[in-house]
Each structure stands twice: as C-alpha cells, then as structure tokens.
Chains A and B, each alone.
Chain A
Amino acid sequence: RRACVRKFSKPMYGINLTMNQTNHSLIPPPAKYGGRHTVTLIPGDGIGPELLNHVKELFRFSCVPVDFEVVNVSSATEDDINNAITAIRRNGVALKGNIETLHTLPASHKSRNNLLRTSLDLYANVMHCKSLPGVQTRHNNIDIMIIRENTEGEYSSLEHESVSGVVECLKIITRTNSLRIAEYAFKLAREKGRKRVTAVHKANIMKLGDGLFLQCCREVAAGYPDIAFDAMIVDNTTMQRYTMSKPQQFDVMVMPNLYGNVVSNVCAGLVGGPGLVPGANYGRDYAVFETATRNTGKSIADRNIANPTAMLLASCMMLDHLKLHDYATMIRNAVLTTMNETQLHTADIGGQGTTSEVVQAIMRNIQSKGPLTSEL
C-alpha cells in the first residue's frame, strides 16, 4: 500500500489541472481499514444505478482502494432511508444517485434526499461550475463556485393548511446556520484563492429572513478583509448571467437553499448541462457526493445515453475527500481529456457517444497514462 502511494507522489501527467483539494479541518480524517476505504453507495432511481455501476467499474479498473457498501433506497418506507443514513454515519462518506420524490404521495412523505441531508446535517452544498474547453456553450470562461445552504430555508418541509384552500409554507432562516454557511464560504474562498464572495438574497421582500442571512454574511465578511464581499438580489443575479455583461463577473456565491437551487441550475445550464457538473454536500462529520443538479433522469434511464461525466467527477471529489489525491487526479484528467481532446460527447452535449463508449475511452486513457496498469 505504501509503495503504491509513493509511486504517485509527484505529478506525472501532461495535463495541468488544479486538484480539487478541499482541506476541511473540521471533518476528521476518514477511517481506513487495511488501507481500503469503505464508502456508502446509494444507487437511487433513474440513471443513478447505471452511472454508479460505471463508477464502480472504473474504480475497479484503476485499482482504487475503495469498497462500496451498496444501500438501496426505494421510495416507499422510511426504513430504507434510515438504513442508508446509518451506513453513512458508519462510513463517513457516500456517493449517491438521486432518489425520486413522487408528487402523488401525501405531504407527510418527505423527500428522501432532503431527509438524508437534514439528518446528517450536510449544511453546505458546493458546486463548482467551470467551462470545459471541449464543450461548446454560449459562454466561455465561466468559473463560479456556488455554496448553497443545504438544510433550512424553503426546504424545511413545514407546511400546513390551517384554513381550507390556504396553504402556508414556512421558510426558516436561522442565525446559526447562516453564520455557519457564510463561514464555510469565506473559508473555502480563502483556501482556493478566490477574490470575491457574492451573497444572493431577496431582502427587499423578505426583510427579516433574507435580511438576517445578509447580516450574518456581512459579519463573517468583516473577519476576512482580504476577500471582497458584495450582495445581489436573486432576480438581478439570474439576469446578469445573460445580458451583455458577462457571467464572468461572479466568483464565489453564497445563498440560502431555494435561490441556490435555481442559481446552481442556471450555472449548470451555462457550462453545458446537468451531465457535466458534480456536486458535494459537506457536513461537519460526513460528506455525500452526487451530481450537482440532482436529476433522476427517468426519461433516459437504462438507455446507455446518460452523460457519466458528472458522476465520475463527483467520484473524483470523493477521492479527494478521502485524501486519495493521486487517484482523483488520474481519473479526473482522463475524464477531462476524453471530454476536451478526444471530443467523445454524449447526446446531451450534442454528440453521438453512448455512456459505455465514454467510460471505455476514459479507461483507455487511464491505461495509456498510468504506469500501474501498463506494467501488468
């Protein structure tokens, strides 16, 4: 085990890409038993199972020292999701597909994904939207980090119908959580050498709620004088993307839950679609990785046309989290090479390739670059 690690100690690959090293001093180093990590795998619905199979296949091919504990969650009872949560508590890390939320079920049935996030207190959802050179989009040079509060806000699932025909949905904003997410945002900005943090809000209408969020961000910003801080109303933010003034003006953005949902989807659309961007949910003790836009992809399930890039990049983020940086860089380089140079694209970005072709190409790329497998 030690010999393998030492072999990869210096960067030896031609493509110079920044590694997604997130040094979270708050999260304890992950446990390793016999040199191998155990990661909970939740296949979910739609395209989740097939993409995660590809991840497993790729990991096995690359000899990544990760074992997957598969926990299936069906949308019916609460036992399944509780088992999944227990497994994640045990392992500390998870990789998941999106679990479908049926609208027809009664309101007491909470979204499984939401339940997972709140139970594990995964308070920060981080999404890094970066324009990929090989993908043709209408905007270039986008490099935005979106940090979204993941547990409260509009997603509190507290609704009631006090009078018949009148529904009240509660949006909760708390000082502790707002301070926490702002602190996370600024710390991440500092670690990644970012210059500016923009808070997105709607405080002209929701004065108390978003006003509190904004105030917390300002308080935290005062402790980081090297990073510029500004605030922008959410409607102006979504519009700025598209006018002649460029989306390039945004650097790091921090926001409550619902705006985060919308803004992250807008950014994902800007860089090329839901198949390209990975997302990470960080808590103090746990981390769960998934595709950023959390799509189930029911309509394209089991047809071998889904784009595996987002899920594979999410697995690379997971490897970085487990401090297996060399494996992470190796797989990430291969994925990006396939995307940018080989130009093997799936249908969602205008190509003809199938999922398995893309994964095969990635494996071939790893094989050609990696000393480990070429020595066999």
Chain B
Amino acid sequence: IFNLSPSLEFVLIFQPAGVRVLYSLLWFCVFQPPPARYGGRHTVTLIPGDGIGPELLSHVRELFRFCCVPVDFEVVNVDSTMTSEDDINDAITAIRRNGVALKGNIETNHNLPPSFISRNNLLRTSLDLYANVMHCQSLPGVRTRHRNIDIIIIRENTEGEYSSLEHESVSGVVECLKIITRTNSLRIADYAFRLARERGRRRVTAVHKANIMSLGDGLFLQCCKEVAAGYQDIAFDAMIVDNTTMQLVSKPQQFDVMVMPNLYGNVVSNVCAGLVGGPGLVPGANYGTDYAVFECGTRNTGKSIADGNIANPTAMLLASCLLLDHLRLHAYATMIRRAVIATVTETRLHTADLGGQGSTSDVVQSIMKEIQSTGPLTQNI
C-alpha cells in the first residue's frame, strides 16, 4: 500500500450512525496483507524513541484524537541507555502483533561497546523491512534553492554497510564487512520497479560505485538490470554515487525514481531531504513483506531541540498520513495531509528549521483549525 499524492480527489460519504466510509477511487492492493481490524479500530505500535520523538508523537496522537481517526496506539518505550535487548524485543513483538508501527528515532550511544547493535537497525533487520521509501517533493510554501523536485528514493534497508559485522583481527586494523546478496538486490529492484509502475513513473536510476566495488555493487547493478528487463515501459539507467550527489546539488530535477544499496541510500536521501527543505519535512516508510514502520525520513533524534517546542512536526505528521494510507484509511490520510500542506504553505507558521518563528504547538493548532474548517465530521458536532 503506497501513499497517494495529495492532489487526488475523492468523495467521502459518512453515515452518521457508524463509521462506514465509501470511496470512489480504486486502490491498488499489492502484496501487503490487509491489516487487522478489531471493532473497526486499528491498533498501531508507537515507539516514542528519543529526542524530539516523544513530543512529535504525542502531537500525532492529539491530532488523531481530534480527527476521530479509528486508530489506537500501543505505546512501547525503548530505553536507549540500557544494553539489554528486552526493550527492543518487546517492541518487535508488538509490531509483529499489530503489523504497523510509527516510531521516533532511538538514539545510538557511540560510547557503548561495538557488540551493542543500533536499536533502529535491529528493528529493521528483525522485521525484514527491506525497502525504505522516501518521497522528496518540493512543497509550495517552503523557500528552497531548487524548485520542482519530485524524487522517490528506494533504499535497501537491511544489508549493505549496515550489516554490523566488524572485527579487529590485527590490533589497529579494523575490517567492516559490506554484504550484498543476490536475493536482496533482486527484491529491492523488483520493489522499485513495481512502485515506479504503480505511480506512473518513467525512469529508475540505480546508484552504485561499481567501478571500485566491482563485485559487490556490480552484483547489485546486475540484479537491477535483470529486473529492468521485465519492465519494458520504464527506462533504466545507472549512475555512480559521486556523480549522483553532484548532479543532485546542481540539477535535481533530472531524477525520478532512484534505487540503491543502504549507505548510498542514507547519503542520497539526506541530500534530497536537504534539497526540499530539511529534515523536518520529509516522511519515510520502511516496508517489509508483512510489516510496515513509519518514521521521519532522515531518522534524526533531534536531541538538541528536544522539548523546546521548536521541532517541525510536518515530517512526523506526513509519516502518520502514510500510516493511514497503509491501513486503507485514505479519507483520513488525505484530510490530514491536506491540512498539513496548507499549513506548511503558510510562511507565518514556519518553524525555526524553515527560517520562521512558529512553535510546534502553533503548527499543530493551525492544522487542527484547518481540518475543522474543511472537514464535515467535526462541523456536524
């Protein structure tokens, strides 16, 4: 289930007695099983994380309650200071149970021993969330140096440089293993092309460094080419990562859909997030065969701005809209997304990272007012 662009129109019909909603649009159901619903309400795991995570997620909950979204949150706290894996295992079990999660970033303390694996990474690999999808779009009200950017970045999420396999065989010499496998490369390439086809995209670019890592990235590239052969309607090309980043900062409009291994995905997605306005604006989604986890695209903890009421809630709110789309609550998703975009266009309400003076609560209040003014549900009360 993929998120829809906010420009899609639909007709919403509510029955006053219940929550039966009719759609006049056809949704594409691909390979995700329909999420479980008990009593018409969904349960979603919520992992507050560290830094700005807790405050932004409480705003999400506030907004959902305001909009009467039929979603209940099961909050699972993961303590980043503890070295035991119980917390994260609880969180993983909760996500297996619910199928969907919304999370803030969990801090990884550099001072802990190398055997301590990043909690975010552990979550992604345990649940096999193999595709990280980030849609970077220029937003109308945000002043950036480049306009008309619309790039979807699909990043392999489980292997590559993030395998956490490192060892020091000789003292003073560290070897880090970067793993590339044929199965995972084929899987992510297939995901990328399928997504491109569903969204009506013309071109998929694979980003690699095969001139240096000829076996590893060469395998990735080969898998992409094999999958591309099965999608004749979509153009495929490849670009070396250094050239890609240079092109991104000078002519980002040339890119459409990009697929890449883990580390390049990290860098390229951050460059693109910077291009459209910063980490506070772009949501990210991690999809696996059975589970989906939504978060801010650039996975920042934001420790320095935590609890200051200055964080930009847009990324987290748009991530929650992606969550609602995944749960097939498209009406709610579009309603909230429209309100969020309308608020972002309003320059007066920009938070500090966009160069404005607004606070987080101002932005959320404005979104709620926007929903109230356009939504039929709350007007009837």
- Residues of chain A whose beta carbon lies under 8 Å from any beta carbon of chain B: 101, 103, 106-107, 109, 111, 114, 138-139, 154-155, 157, 159-161, 164-176, 202-209, 211-212, 214, 234-236, 238-244, 258-259, 261-262, 264-266, 268-270, 273-274, 293, 295
Rounded to whole angstroms, the CA-CA distance of A202 and B110 in the bound complex is 10
Rounded to whole angstroms, the CA-CA distance of A168 and B213 in the bound complex is 10
- Could you tell me if B215 and A238 are in contact, using CB atoms closer than 8 angstroms? no
Q: List chain B residues, Cβ under 8 A from A154.
A: 178, 209, 212-213
B274 within 8 Å of A by Cβ?
yes
Q: How far is the CB of B265 from chain A (nearest CB, A)?
A: 10
- Could you tell me if B175 and A170 are in contact, using CB atoms closer than 8 angstroms? yes
Rounded to whole angstroms, the CA-CA distance of A159 and B177 in the bound complex is 9
- With A244-B353, A261-B242, A268-B246 already in contact, the answer to whether A171 and B175 are too (CB < 8 A) is yes
Smallest Cβ-Cβ distance to B146: which chain A residue: A138
Smallest Cβ-Cβ distance to B220: which chain A residue: A167
Q: List chain B residues, Cβ under 8 A from A274.
A: 246
Q: Which of these, B166, B181, B218, contacts A207 with CB under 8 Å?
A: B166
- Could you tell me if A244 and B211 are in contact, using CB atoms closer than 8 angstroms? no
- With A165-B182, A234-B267 already in contact, the answer to whether A262 and B242 are too (CB < 8 A) is yes
Rounded to whole angstroms, the CA-CA distance of A106 and B264 in the bound complex is 23
- Could you tell me if B178 and A239 are in contact, using CB atoms closer than 8 angstroms? no
Question: Most chain-B Cβ atoms within 10 A of its Cβ — which of A214, A262, A264, A295?
Answer: A262
Among B253-303, those with CB < 8 Å from A are 263-264, 266-267, 269-271, 273-275, 277-279, 298, 300
Q: List chain A residues, Cβ under 8 A from B241.
A: 261-262
Rounded to whole angstroms, the CA-CA distance of A211 and B118 in the bound complex is 14
- Could you tell me if B245 and A269 are in contact, using CB atoms closer than 8 angstroms? yes
- Could you tell me if B249 and A208 are in contact, using CB atoms closer than 8 angstroms? no
Smallest Cβ-Cβ distance to B208: which chain A residue: A103
Rounded to whole angstroms, the CA-CA distance of A262 and B240 in the bound complex is 10
- With A154-B178, A168-B177, A238-B245 already in contact, the answer to whether A103 and B267 are too (CB < 8 A) is no
Rounded to whole angstroms, the CA-CA distance of A240 and B270 in the bound complex is 9
Q: Which of these, A240, A241, A244, A273, contacts B250 with CB under 8 Å?
A: A273
- Could you tell me if A244 and B162 are in contact, using CB atoms closer than 8 angstroms? no
Q: Which of these, B161, B168, B212, B278, contacts A157 with CB under 8 Å?
A: B212
Rounded to whole angstroms, the CA-CA distance of A240 and B271 in the bound complex is 8
- Could you tell me if A170 and B245 are in contact, using CB atoms closer than 8 angstroms? no
- Could you tell me if A176 and B209 are in contact, using CB atoms closer than 8 angstroms? no
Jot down 12 A-B pairs with beta carbons below 8 A, ordered by A: A106-B214, A138-B146, A165-B181, A205-B162, A208-B166, A209-B174, A238-B271, A239-B271, A258-B263, A266-B248, A269-B247, A269-B248
Interface SS of chain B: helix, strand, loop or mixed?
Answer: mixed
- Could you tell me if B182 and A266 are in contact, using CB atoms closer than 8 angstroms? no
Q: List chain B residues, Cβ under 8 A from A203.
A: 110
- Could you tell me if A269 and B250 are in contact, using CB atoms closer than 8 angstroms? yes
Q: List chain A residues, Cβ under 8 A from B116.
A: 207
B354 within 8 Å of A by Cβ?
yes
Q: Which of these, A111, A173, A259, contacts B176 with CB under 8 Å?
A: A173
Rounded to whole angstroms, the CA-CA distance of A111 and B183 in the bound complex is 27
Rounded to whole angstroms, the CA-CA distance of A236 and B105 in the bound complex is 14
Q: Which of these, B216, B246, B273, B278, contacts A159 with CB under 8 Å?
A: B216
Q: Which of these, A176, A207, A239, contacts B110 with CB under 8 Å?
A: A207
Smallest Cβ-Cβ distance to B145: which chain A residue: A138
Smallest Cβ-Cβ distance to B217: which chain A residue: A169
B8 within 8 Å of A by Cβ?
no
Among B186-236, those with CB < 8 Å from A are 209-216, 218-219, 221
Q: How far is the CB of A292 from chain B (nearest CB, A)?
A: 10
Rounded to whole angstroms, the CA-CA distance of A31 and B360 in the bound complex is 65
Rounded to whole angstroms, the CA-CA distance of A311 and B211 in the bound complex is 22
Rounded to whole angstroms, the CA-CA distance of A293 and B354 in the bound complex is 31
B141 within 8 Å of A by Cβ?
no
Q: How far is the CB of A146 from chain B (nearest CB, A)?
A: 12
Smallest Cβ-Cβ distance to B242: which chain A residue: A265
- Could you tell me if A107 and B176 are in contact, using CB atoms closer than 8 angstroms? no
Smallest Cβ-Cβ distance to B182: which chain A residue: A165
- Could you tell me if A239 and B172 are in contact, using CB atoms closer than 8 angstroms? no
- Could you tell me if B212 and A208 are in contact, using CB atoms closer than 8 angstroms? no
- Could you tell me if B177 and A269 are in contact, using CB atoms closer than 8 angstroms? no
Q: List chain B residues, Cβ under 8 A from A176.
A: 172
- Could you tell me if B246 and A170 are in contact, using CB atoms closer than 8 angstroms? no
- With A173-B174, A262-B267 already in contact, the answer to whether A166 and B278 are too (CB < 8 A) is no
Smallest Cβ-Cβ distance to B355: which chain A residue: A244
- Could you tell me if A235 and B298 are in contact, using CB atoms closer than 8 angstroms? yes
Rounded to whole angstroms, the CA-CA distance of A242 and B279 in the bound complex is 10
Rounded to whole angstroms, the CA-CA distance of A242 and B219 in the bound complex is 32
Rounded to whole angstroms, the CA-CA distance of A158 and B140 in the bound complex is 47
